[in-house]
Structure 1
Amino acid sequence: MKYPVNRSTITHFIIVLVLSLTTSCSNDDETSSPIDNIYIDIPDIHFETKLIELGIDSDGTINQQILRSDAEKLNRLDLNLSANSGEIIDFTGIEGFVNITFLSAAGQEIEDIDLSFNTLLDTLILNANQLTHIDISNNSNLILLEIQSNELSAITGLSKSTVLKKVNLSFNNFEEFTIKNESVETLLISHNLLKSIDTKDAINLKNVFIILNQITTVDFSSNSLLETLVISGNKLQSINLENNTNLTHLYSSSNLLTSLDVSNNQELIDLRVDRNPDLTCIKILNGQEIPTVSLSDYQELNTICN
């Protein structure tokens, strides 16, 4: 049985369909404006000025934006090469530099930074800023991390940087510090407020610099590869170096040590333990030679210490 075709109904249906498709396309255009893909916002005038001085912002005009293509063609961004353009406060826009492997922005006034899109970074230098916290969870390719002379008291994502070799966090505000990273070989965290430090999960540490803190106890028994330990200017009363047979340099001046045994540290070539008021005898092995030794007048090296 055939039903009659109502031409007005068909016409109405076609009109509704066309209007629906037109509205859909219009909405797509509104949510994906071409301008959003072409430019990156750079709200900080000093940041943009530096980019212009370095020839990175190709339009050469302070307009709080940069072509995305200008940012994406870079693999190295060294803002320290720019002079007399003021200090950066707002680092918004750095997320557009997705291909950089090197970033240096020392001596600025940066308080916050989002590096979650800069996943190719292997070198990060942010010395002398005003950072209180930093998250490097997405920066797994980092090899060098330099963030000294800030106001840091916390760092997130350090364990995610699985090829990281050197970390410099000196001159900050850390009160306690735990490093869980098996790739790090050099750790500098001097001139902080440290009362405790945990390095047991950094088994490849070779060099540790933690002078001028407030540390009373340390445990480097898990760091058997340790070669250089600079821990002067703390409040250490004792230290066990039995497992650190690769140790070549030990600086532990200006502490509160009452005893010290380096008889198991046969690779020592430089020992500095002066200005420990209650340390009079440093135990060595019979025949052990240490080329450079710094002692106070009341101290001596001996094979027998009471």
Structure 2
Amino acid sequence: MVNRIKKMKNPISRSSITPIIIVLTLSLIISCSSNEETLNPTDNILNIPDIHFETKLIELGIDSDGIVNQQMLRSDAEKLDRLDLNLSANSGKIVDFTGIEGFVNLTYLSAAGQEIEDVDLSFNTKLDTIFLNGNYLNNIDISNNSNLILLDIQSNELSTITGLSKSPNLKKVNLSFNNFEEITINNTSIEVLLISHNLLKSIDTKDALNLKNLFIILNQITTVDFSSNILLETLVISGNKLQNINLEKNTNLTHLYCSSNLLTGLDVSNNQELIDLRVDRNPDLTCIKILNSQEIPNVSLSDYQELNTNCN
């Protein structure tokens, strides 16, 4: 009777227990693995290797742990739509901008006057305003920033820009004080372009059909063609090496500054909207042609120059 009871309490054989244990073990392993993937604490951590970058984020109350530990919560970065690092009182300059890719909801970014050498804005697809002037950038790619309206990257070390045609809403671009030797503005929406104090020998604006204001002083440009830019109102092209310029199609011009060039002739008789004309310091330009009834309120000439209806 005793033996029978023992057998009844242990009805499952050793051979049948083994596969059950294996199944349970595998289920536990899979479950743990799945939980680790879901609850991995590093998923919400953003790497911020530059201590000056993180210090500024802490000072601005963005990095919520308040500790310079080269990391911050990704969720802190994702809350922001505006980041102005110039508001920080910290005097340290940012060199490494790693971590900016986590600020995916930014529409406004300002990090002027830092020492940033490289930047990846491919994840910041909502940006409409960028101020990265006064850094050490030697290249920039804005191919993924299709919402851009304003781009200020003056005073860097740029010689190229990638993705300019990918921003259909871009209105103002400042590329002054860089190292551009040539540039093609293949964007129809740009209205204001500043690219002064570069090394420009050529500029192609034929696709910039809405260009209204162009500032390209102090370059090395010898020839230009603005015949496609019929909306042009302000043209500042002083301090170049121009020998001639045709402005017949630019009937909306109100301001023309072409001082300190090598012009031998200039005809503004078709530019009836001109209110400010500066053509002084062109050694071989003595006569500027105008219409008989044309009046230009503000004119800057050298003492050997004159406005005349008949220039031979």
TM value normalised by structure 1: 0.94
1:236-262 superposed Cα distances (whole Å, 9 cap, x missing partner): 000000000000000000000001000
Aligned residue for 2:263? Answer: 257
Say whether residues 1:297 and 2:303 are aligned partners: yes
1:87-107 superposed Cα distances (whole Å, 9 cap, x missing partner): 000001111111111100001
> How far 1:37 moved relative to its partner?
2.1
Aligned residue for 1:227? Answer: 233
Amino acid at match of 1:283: K
Aligned residue for 1:183? Answer: 189
1:75-128 superposed Cα distances (whole Å, 9 cap, x missing partner): 110000112340000001111111111100001000000111111111000010
1:247-298 superposed Cα distances (whole Å, 9 cap, x missing partner): 0000000000001000000000000000001111100011100000000111
- Structure 1 stretch 27-36 or stretch 120-129: which is displaced more? 27-36
Aligned partner of 1:285 among 280, 283, 291: 291
1:46-88 superposed Cα distances (whole Å, 9 cap, x missing partner): 0000001111111111111111121111111000011234000
Query: How far apart, in 1, do the equivalents of 2:21 and 2:144 lie?
Result: 50
On the 8 A contact 2:44/2:73 being kept in 1, the answer is yes
Amino acid at match of 2:294: Q
Q: Which has the larger radius of gyration?
A: 2
Aligned residue for 2:221? Answer: 215
Query: How far apart, in 2, do the equivalents of 1:156 and 1:91 lie?
Result: 19
TM value normalised by structure 2: 0.92
Aligned partner of 2:77 among 51, 71, 77: 71
Aligned residue for 1:3? Answer: none
Query: How far apart, in 2, do the equivalents of 1:234 and 1:189 lie?
Result: 13
The share of aligned pairs that are identical, in percent, is 78
Q: Secondary structure at the match of 1:167?
A: strand
Query: How far apart, in 2, do the equivalents of 1:78 and 1:175 lie?
Result: 31
> How far 1:223 moved relative to its partner?
0.2
Amino acid at match of 1:76: R
User: Structure 1 residues 11 and 201, CA, compared in 2 at 3 Å: closer, same or farther?
Assistant: farther
Amino acid at match of 1:39: I
Query: How far apart, in 2, do the equivalents of 1:169 and 1:33 lie?
Result: 45
1:149-176 superposed Cα distances (whole Å, 9 cap, x missing partner): 0000111111111100000000000000
Aligned residue for 1:142? Answer: 148
Query: How far apart, in 1, do the equivalents of 2:185 and 2:14 lie?
Result: 76
On the 8 A contact 1:49/1:85 being kept in 2, the answer is no
Unaligned runs of 5+ in 2: 1-12
Unaligned runs of 5+ in 1: 1-6
Query: How far apart, in 1, do the equivalents of 2:34 and 2:157 lie?
Result: 45
Say whether residues 1:246 and 2:252 are aligned partners: yes
Query: How far apart, in 2, do the equivalents of 1:303 and 1:85 lie?
Result: 59
Say whether residues 1:202 and 2:236 are aligned partners: no
Amino acid at match of 2:240: N
Report how many aligned residue pairs link the two structures: 301
> How far 1:39 moved relative to its partner?
1.5
User: Structure 1 residues 228 and 10, CA, compared in 2 at 3 Å: closer, same or farther?
Assistant: farther
Say whether residues 1:107 and 2:107 are aligned partners: no
Superposition RMSD on alpha carbons, in Å? 1.7
Say whether residues 1:37 and 2:43 are aligned partners: yes
On the 8 A contact 1:50/1:85 being kept in 2, the answer is no
